[in-house]
A and B are shown apart, each in its own frame.
Chain A
Amino acid sequence: MMIEALIAVALVGAFVTFVAPNRIAGKLAFAISLIPAGLSLWMFSAFDGSGNALLDGELAFASEFEWIQFGEYSISWLVGLDGISMPLVVLTTILSSLAIVSSWTPIDERESQFYGLVLFIEANLIGVFAALDFFVWFIFWEAVLIPMYLLIGIWGGPRRKYAAIKFFVYTNVASLVMFGAFIALVFGLGDVTTFALPDVTTAMLNGGPDGFLGIGGTTLASLVFVAMFLGFAVKVPIVPFHTWLPDAHVEAPTPASVLLAGVLLKMGTYALLRFNFTMFPTEVIEPFVIPIAAIAVISVIYGAMLALAQTDLKRIVAYSSVSSMGYVILGLIAYTQFGVGGATFQMVSHGLISGLMFMAVGVIYNATHTRMVTDMSGMADRMPVAVGILVAGAFGYMGLPLMSGFFGEFTIFFGAFGAEGLAYSQVFTALAMFGIVIVAGYLLFALQRTVFGPYHLETDYDVDRAPLHDIAPMFVLLGLIILLGVAPELIFEMITDAVDPILETGGEL
């Protein structure tokens, strides 16, 4: 019942915070969020699962009971963790706690509602990574959208309404496509009467669907694969479905950006791994391998080029997230242990690094009230510690060795280079890798303009050192980034353990 406890603490905490006085809401929410963070760390250390959750793996902290019965179909409350979801749950709880602390400075109205919503997001995010029944999972998946919509729409920047609606509608329409496709698949499978993901996976790998509404089984599987891929592609986001992301990030308040880039994007890649690349047999995936690899490379390079053209610090980081997610897609489609394992590692790593970057940009914004590269220079003169962390985070983003980003990227490149199922894998890898040059270009350019050079600020504010509670969460993240860079096996071992069954059953493209 550990997972239920995690979710319950966050949910109850959300309600408690919601009715608490504004004055104490931030501290209260932080105190509450420490409970799931601590619990999940304990779960991480006590983790005893093995194998993949969908492929008869030994689940950790699993629980199951029947929830709803209609006709011959039943919906169960089925949750549990394997080596893929465990690190993501820890990422979620830690990042939520830190995001709450990083809100103390910028959020100064309707605090209790704000922090309540953050805890509500946290509860649902844990649910997304832990749920193994489609309906339960989908409820959490959709429930994440609402608080995020409100965070952007209420506490966001000047164009917050546009950004919030765009975010909500775009990802919701995508979810609808994915939902319809999955239901069609389950009906098409015929003898499956539950929506439990392991059952669906077993049925898919043992013969697949018979057909639905007159569509043949093989065609149905392919159609559903494409529809679900598109549905998740918006969430990731993959080019060309990415345009909601920069708008959402620019308008979102810092902590919302931290969670958005840090965890919400990983929902997309996580779902791609869980559904598209685990459930579907090799024959279904095969025709799409080259297009997906191409789209991954395009996401990397095109995203990086877009980042190069930006002058808003948040847009730079937002577009570079698009680029980084391209690496993840490349790793997934490589279908090797290092490729898929590295992609999963990169989800965690990018969560930490992009979280750090958004926090650092936020701290500078708190002081200067601008994020435009052209509006400032020489910030290192006034905020040496915050800038130092920003520089460290930027190098983390560039994949500096001994920081987690390097391990993620290197394993993806290595896993993709020799991928036997991916034709021209060397070419794809070489092209995608060029992202590491462009990322250095736009981040170093931005650093040169904003934090170095003679001190200058267009806006009329006194810039002083950031308070400790702005700095501390960034130190925690930096510490984790270096820890995972030096000792990646801390999570890579459990990740590969959960990845291996995918490659064995569906694998060898």
Chain B
Amino acid sequence: MSRNWEMVIGLEVHVELSTKSKIFCSCTTQFGGEPNTHCCPVCTGMPGTLPIFNGQVLEYAVKAGLALNCEIERQTRFDRKNYFYPDLPKAYQISQLYRPIAHDGYVEIETSQGPKKIRIHEMHMEEDAGKLIHSEYGNETYPDYNRCGVPLLEIVSEPDFRSAEEVAAYLEKIRMMFTYLGISDCKMQEGSMRADVNLSIREAGTTEFGTRTEMKNINSISAIERAIAGEYERQCDLLESGGKVTQETRHWNDDKKMSTAMRSKENAQDYRYFPEPDIPEILVSEEYIDDCRSRMPEFAPDKKERFMSEYGLSEYDAGLLVASKPESDFFEALIKGGATAKASANWLIVHLASVMKKLSADINGTMDFEDAGLDAEQMSYLIKEVEGGKVNRQDGIDILTEMVKSEEVLDVKEYIASHGLEVSNDTGALAETVAKVIAANEQAVSEYKSGKEKAIGFLVGACMKELKGKCNPGMVKEMLEAELKK
């Protein structure tokens, strides 16, 4: 930071919870769908309908609150936030203001200057709003209420961030914890994790806050980093040229790399919050909290340490595996299935990664571990077969590709048999081939005999080709060497 201005950032992060049904009705929370097909009279705000709270949301919220080191509110309740917008069919959002489910916590992040605590002001439960589809040509907007009522947690931090790097680390940490808790998939590109950035600047060394702006709903961590950099520059330029920052909501345009002020017709926001009369209060008992606490998972940093010490993985490999909870759990399932830790790690990090990269390129999209839909028992069998020399490595990788592509669980043993991929152990046939190859490749044989050990590779390859790959290359090499040394 060349300039003498310090940035001060507070974040409001919205996370969609991965419950099956919505927070106040039984419609599906599934992303997408034809407009207004995941809707009912309740979530479209039909007159006379009433909200019924989904208890799973409470459990997820308490777990999230514990992960954020918050105090859990023992007597929580909902409040109405009133405002008019066509994506909000009741014209109020059922949210929490006066007694949010969790408050006064912190998240510890790693920064280049070492660990830092970002304080959490509060975290509350609320319902998501719908989506507005805008006509390309005409003067029309089309409300789609499918997302209305999808449960959200909103996490409000204190203004503790001093750099974009810290913001990114914080978002990554929340994503890690929430995916480990299994309460959200935190996919920014699908909007299941969204961040509003409140940013102000002040002269380095001062303690008073400057006037802040708010940038809403930026949809990737890297875009947030760019938005922060852009807004920081803009505010610095403003103040240095004798101007003033106006408190306003700004829209970050990631293509143009600049923000623009949103027009605000309303004088001030006055949401007229009051307690939601349609939902009785919720008392959260000590037992309930203890039960949630006892079911908290081992988070990534601890798991990484354990993978290094228990399985002898490198820090790099362990780090790659724990980046995804499902993948790290799968890794341990492979070991349980009898594959070695080293081979299991190698197959996931190297082979599976390359298979998925190739398949993603084919479909021109992205795939994550869960999209692979792998069965641990089958994959662990495959690893054992390949490492035990019973199936060729390349054949093994092809089988893995088939496993990923297949909708159903692929029976690896059956697949190997039906495709004739079993490496031959018929030493008679092997010896015959070895003799044939030696006879047909005089030049390579003489090179080998004159000390060019590399020539053996060519001969192994020739044997493999002859046997159509159905043999163990190690065994072929051994037999060739024995034959040539005679």
Partners in one complex: no
